[in-house]
Amino acid sequence: MKVKSRNMHRWFDQFADFIYYFNRLIFTTTRGFKNSRFIFHASGKLRRLRMVHFQKGYVKKQLSVRKGACRQCGVCCNLLFTCPMLTKKGRCIIYGSCRPKACKVFPIDQRDIDEIKFCGGQCGYSFNSRSARGCYTKKDNGKK
């Protein structure tokens, strides 16, 4: 009887250790994803893709209030993955000819400029505070 109980306690101890390490693994993994640049940049890329194809009115409005010019530094081309059209010097091969629409309209709003700053770059574009938040005045009552 004592042999069975010792084996049973050993099994419970092993199971408890397994649960402890499993919880620790899950905790560190989720904490790593929370602070991950990958998640940050992937969500930004998905947001821009959705805006370019499904919120064309918002993009057009934002482009009309955008100021500045592209510095062609290449930081925006390295946000999630490195664009295959970049040279070793960080210049776009197809800048003047056939860039994708998401590249042409970048940055769409202040969040995109903040994402560039997060990577240590400085975008040549800027937005005023009203357009950066995407807010509406009382005159248009939130209509697009």
Can you give the pLDDT of all 144 residues of the chain as single tens digits? 455 566 666 766 777 777 777 777 766 666 655 566 777 888 888 899 889 989 999 999 999 999 999 888 888 888 888 888 888 888 888 888 888 888 889 999 999 999 899 888 899 999 976 544 444 444 444 444
Distance from CA of residue 63 to its chain's centroid? 20
Report the C-alpha dihedral over residues 99, 102, 108, 114, rounded to 10 degrees. -90
Q: Is the pTM of this model over 0.75?
A: no
CA atoms within 13 A on the CB side of 133: 6
